[in-house]
Structure 1
Amino acid sequence: MDGTIVDTEPYWMTAESELVRSWGGTWTHDDGLTLVGNGLEVSAAVLQSRGVDLDIATIIDKLTDRVTEQLAEVGVPWRPGGQDLLREVREAGIKTALVTMSFRRMAEQIASYIPFDPFDVIIAGDEVEHPKPHPEAYLTAAQRLGVQASASIAIEDSLGGLASAVAAGTIAIGVPHLVPLPETGDHTIWPTLEGRTLGDLCALASERAAEAPQA
C-alpha cells in the first residue's frame, strides 16, 4: 500500500520526525528511509532507541493517527498507474489482496478512497505474527483468496516487502520509489506502474511459468 498504491511514506516520515523531536531527539530523512517497508512494531522499537519513551502500542497509535490526520488535511497522494492497473485487474474478475504492514484501520481508510471495490482481502500489519520481510503476510493472503502463492503476482516498492513476496514464492514485481531495488533473477523490476496493463501482468506470469522447472 504505502509507496505502491499511495505515496504516504513522506507522511510516515513526518510523523516519525515530529514524535522523535517531541522527546528531544533528531530524525532525518535518511533515518526515515531505513524504516520503509518495516513492520510498525519494528519501526516503533527503533523510535524507542532514539529516545521516544513510550510503549510500542502507543507509538504505533500516535504514528497512525498523525498519518491519518495528514491524509484528511492534505489528501491522498496516489502513485502513478496503480489505480488504473488495479481497476483493469478487477474488471477482469481477478482476485486481489492488499498486503500491508500498516494497521487495518489505515488500510481500510485508504481502500475506501478508491472509487471501486478494490480488494477481496486485506492483510494488515496488526493481523500477522511476523512482519515483512517474513513471508507470512503474502502466504496468508493467498490462503484467504484460495489461490497458490506461486500463481500470484505481488507488487512491492520496498526491500522488505519485495523480500517477503519472493520468500512467499510469488511472481514478484518491484516498483522502486524512495529506496532503490536490486536487479536480481528473483523478481522483476518495473520503473513505474504508469501505462502498465493486465496484458503485461499476464505476459510476466506466462514467462515465469515457462521458466519454472517441470516436475
Structure 2
Amino acid sequence: MTAQFPAAVLWDMDGTIVDTEPYWMSAQTALIEAHGGSWSHEEAMDLVGSGLWRTAQAMQAHGVSMSEDAIVSLLSERVMEQISASVPWRPGAMELLKALREQGIRTALVTMSIGRMAEHVRAFIPFDAFDVVISGDSVTNAKPHPEAYLAAAEALGVAAGDCVAIEDSTTGVASAAAASVVTIGVPHYLPLDDSPAHVLWPTLLGRRPGDIAEVFALHRETGARASERRHSQSHSTPSQTERPPMTPRFTS
C-alpha cells in the first residue's frame, strides 16, 4: 500500500499530548471542598474530555457559588500552575508531533481547554508545533459536537475528511468522527472499544508519520469501497439500507 499522508493532523491536548487529567481532578476537588461539598473519582471521570462549561455546571451542582466563567477561569489557572511546575507529557506525543512537522505535515491543536491554557502548554513545546489552535472558548459547541474539528479544518483551508485526528476520550473521538475526520483513538483513562475511532493504538510511543499515513490510506480505501457498495445497493434494491462495514482497527 502506497503511503498517503493526510492534509493535516489534528491533535487533542488534555490526555493526548499532556496528561493533565489528574491536575483537573485535583483542581475540581479543591474547589468543591472549599465550598463545603464533596467530589468523587467517578464524578471526575465522567467529565473527562468534556467542555469546561459542562464542568462548571457540575461544580455549581455541588455547591460552588460562582459563575460558570469564573469557575472555568479558576480551574484553568490552577491547572496551568501545576503545568508550570511539571509538564506531564504523554509517551511518544512530542516525538510524533515533531516528526510530523519535520515531514511538512500541517497540524492543529483542537482542545476544549481555554485559549490561554492551550497557549500555555504550547509555550513549553520547543518547536513550532501548530499552524492553528482551536480552543473551548473559540467555539459555540463543545465536543462531542463536531464544530471544533470542522473549525480546525476550515482554518487550515483543508477538507475535514482529508485530515487525521488523535484523541484519547470518548467525547473527543465522537467529535472528530462526526466531522468525518479519520480518527486514531489512544485510550488513556477511558476505554474506546465502543467508540467510533477508526483505529485504536495503545500508545503513541514509537509511532511515526508513516504509521499515520498507513491508517489514512487504509481508511480512504475502505471508505471508497463502502461508498461504491452503497451506490450499487441503492440502484439494485432501493428498499434496503446497507450498513457500511466496520473499519479495521490496529491494536499493535
| TM-score, normalised by the number of residues in structure 1 | 0.97
For 1:85 and 1:186, how far apart are their aligned partners in 2?
19
For 2:172 and 2:33, how far apart are their aligned partners in 1?
28
Match of 1:116 in 2: 127
For 2:196 and 2:26, how far apart are their aligned partners in 1?
35
Contact 1:183 1:189 in 2 (8 A): no
Match of 2:24 in 1: 12
| Number of residue pairs aligned between Structure 1 and Structure 2 | 214
SS at structure 1 position matched to 2:15: coil
What is the CA-CA distance between 1:183 and the residue it aligns to?
4.4
Question: Is 2:35 the partner of 1:36?
Answer: no
Match of 2:178 in 1: 167
Larger radius of gyration: 2
SS at structure 2 position matched to 1:96: strand
For 1:118 and 1:53, how far apart are their aligned partners in 2?
38
Select the residue among 83, 108, 112 that pairs with 1:71: 83
Match of 2:213 in 1: 202
For 2:200 and 2:18, how far apart are their aligned partners in 1?
18
Change (3 A) 1:192 1:55: same
Alignment of 1:1-215 (within 5 A): 1-73=13-85, 75-183=86-194, 186-212=197-223, 213-214=227-228
Higher relative contact order (CA 8 A, sep 6+): 2
For 1:206 and 1:33, how far apart are their aligned partners in 2?
34
For 2:140 and 2:164, how far apart are their aligned partners in 1?
23
Runs of 4 or more consecutive aligned structure 1 residues displaced over 6 Å after TM superposition: none
Contact 1:37 1:161 in 2 (8 A): yes
1:22-72 Cα deviation digits (max 9, x unpaired)? 011111222111110000011100111111111101100110111111112
What is the CA-CA distance between 1:184 and the residue it aligns to?
5.5
Change (3 A) 1:185 1:51: closer
Which runs of no fewer than 5 residues in structure 1 stay unpaired?
none
For 2:212 and 2:67, how far apart are their aligned partners in 1?
42
For 2:110 and 2:187, how far apart are their aligned partners in 1?
17
Which runs of no fewer than 5 residues in structure 2 stay unpaired?
1-12, 232-252
| TM-score, normalised by the number of residues in structure 2 | 0.83
Residue identity (%): 51
For 1:68 and 1:206, how far apart are their aligned partners in 2?
38
Contact 2:14 2:20 in 1 (8 A): yes
